Amino acid sequence: MKPLYLAAASVLALATTACGPKVPAARAALDCPPTQGDLTRTSVSPDGKACTYTNGGGAEVTLQLVNVTGSPDATLAAIETTLLARRGAPTPTAEGDAKTPAQAVKSATTDAASDAARAAKEAADDTKGVTVQVSVDKHRDTGIVTEDGGTTRVNLPGIHVVANDTDDTANVRVGPLTIDAGDDGATVRMRRDVRLRGEALNREKRGLRAMFIYTGDDLPEGYRFVGYEAGGPKRGPITVAVVKSKSEGPDGGDLYPDVKKLVRKNGGV
- Every domain of the chain and the residues it spans: 28-86+98-127+186-267
* DSSP code, position 241: E
By three-state DSSP, how is residue 110 classified? helix
Amino acid at 145: V
pLDDT in tens, the chain (269 residues): 444 444 444 444 444 444 555 666 778 999 999 999 999 999 999 999 999 999 888 899 999 999 999 999 999 999 999 999 988 766 554 444 444 434 444 444 444 444 444 444 454 444 343 333 333 344 444 555 555 566 777 666 667 777 777 667 778 888 888 888 876 778 888 999 999 988 888 889 999 999 999 988 888 888 888 999 999 999 999 999 999 988 765 544 567 789 999 999 999 98
Helix (H) or strand (E) holding 267: helix 255-267
* C-beta of residue 215 within 8 angstroms of C-beta of residue 243: no
Cβ burial of 19 (10 Å; 0-12, 13-18, 19+) is exposed
How far apart, in Å, are the Cα atoms of 253 and each of 54, 58, 116, 219, 258?
Answer: 15, 15, 11, 21, 10
Q: Note the pTM of the prediction, 2 decimals.
A: 0.71
70-98 burial code (b ≥16 CB/10 A, e <16): eebeebbeebbeebbeebeeeeeeeeeee
CATH of 28-86+98-127+186-267, one of 3.40.1000, 1.25.40, 3.40.1360, 3.10.400: 3.40.1000
The contacts of residue 125 (CB under 8 Å, 6+ apart) are none
